[in-house]
Amino acid sequence: MRFDTISPKQAEIFTFIVEPYETLICDGAVRSGKTIMMSIAFIEWAMATFSGCSFGICGKTVRSVERNVVMPVIQTRSIVKRYGITYNRSLSLMTVRSRSGTNFFYLFGGKDESSYMLIQGITLSGVIFDEVALMPQSFVQQAIARTLSVDDAKLWFNCNPEGPDHWFYKEWVLKSSEHNAKHLHFLMSDNPGNSAKALAKAETDFSGVFYKRYVQGIWVTAEGVIFPVFADDPQRFTIADAEADKLICTKKIIGIDFGGNSSKTTMVLTGYQKYDTLTVLAEDGLPITQTIDAAAICDRFVAFYRDCIKRYRHIDFVLCDSASPTMINSLVSAAKAEGLPWRNIAGCRKNEVSQRPRTVDRLLMTGRLKIAERCTEVRRAISNLRWDEKKPDIPEDKNIGNINDWWDAFCYTWLDFVEFIDRR
């Protein structure tokens, strides 16, 4: 990776190295070059200031840190020419060597409230937080505490905006002077690597609140319908049943959300074209019940599963609500008894509920999500899903008309592969 030029805003990241500020905050639009420039500057600062010391590179997950920070740094020519770099994936450790010394960069993932325990005990001379708005406050505070005993330690934060009630916005962005922090706000035009074509394309990659946050770089409240572009013209994302049945799918996944307590058991089949383009192919559901009727669910599942196999020949995975292990075991037993594939039935890996709408919005805006005409309930759910007025960035969970049941079942068909979907 080579950079022929950097913008004045990106250059401000490097001047932070010699300035008296203790903290750097870079927020704003996606694809503005803030992450890679900050990563390079972080390594340059650490190697110029310390030797034999440990540093933290934090992200939502260790794998996201590898993708967003470690690999771009290793592929940057100016870094490769100046330093010897090795990365031990099993230890999540990047070692950087120069003539003047060696430093150690440990990768940490802050995915939930328990993650702070992973970083306890270590002394760090500096920390970079990639996408800090996606991390719990407890994890960030613990990482900061690891630097308090080191003179000249610096904190480096980058993120895309979330809502104005977000803890990082209120405690750090708005109070940057109190933290002796330098605050840089980025737009995509601050990245000279973006061509006019790339800037124009980015304008169409997001809609609604996501456009305001990730393109305009505004910390704005999420309110109203989550997917207005879909609600205004669902036919734009609808595909004829006959056309859907002719698609060549690299994998086909059934997602299941179990009902009970006045909710509906829902089943959705999604086919993948390549690895990041999705088409909802089929849906089925049971009537609302006060409690889970395991026998009825198993019977309906077997019928739906058999029909999907008959129509599409092979189903790769059946991914269910992982909060119901007993019900999952019942489905496995039912499929096995009927001579249907059962080893591919498992609980779905879940991510934060607040992250799911962003993925679907990008799929819609980049033309990578279509829904078969017969899947009326999934289309209705996506059209009517709204933001919760009391819980910022969370879909409303009133489940009116069981739209949340259908939404969840649909999400379970792609959550295990979200990294591949979001990478584009």
pLDDT tens string 320-336: 999 999 999 999 999 99
Task: Output the six-digit token pair for 416.
Answer: 């295990």
Rounded CA-CA distance 420/87 in Å is 22
- What is the mean predicted confidence (pLDDT) over 210-215? 93
Task: Output the six-digit token pair for 231.
Answer: 């609600």
Q: Which amino acid is at 320?
A: C
Q: What is the pLDDT of residue 260?
A: 76
Rounded CA-CA distance 418/412 in Å is 10
In degrees, rounded to 5, the angle at the alpha carbon of residue 78 between the alpha carbons of residues 110 and 215 is 50
What's the whole-model pTM score? 0.84
Task: Output the six-digit token pair for 192.
Answer: 């000279």
Q: What is the pLDDT of residue 263?
A: 86
Confidence of residue 290 (pLDDT cuts 50, 70, 90): low
Percent of the chain with pLDDT over 90: 81
Rounded CA-CA distance 66/54 in Å is 17
- The angle, 0 to 180 degrees and rounded to 10, between the axes of the packed helices 8-15 and 34-49 is 30
Considering only CA atoms, give the Rg of the chain: 24
3-state secondary structure of 386: strand
Unique residue bearing structure tokens 């006045």: 262
- Arithmetic mean of pLDDT over the chain: 93
Unique residue bearing structure tokens 């029909």: 307
Rounded CA-CA distance 106/127 in Å is 10
**Whether residue 284 has pLDDT greater than 90:** yes
Walk me through the domains of the chain, giving residue ranges and CATH numbers.
8-195 (3.40.50.300), 228-423 (3.30.420.280)
Rounded CA-CA distance 167/263 in Å is 33
Listed range (100-104, 115-119, 394-398) with the worst mean pLDDT: 115-119
Which of 19, 15, 14 lies closest to 152, judged by CA?
19
Summarize pLDDT for 129-182 with one digit per residue, the tens. Answer: 999 999 999 999 999 999 999 999 999 999 999 999 999 999 999 999 999 999
Q: What is the pLDDT of residue 179?
A: 97
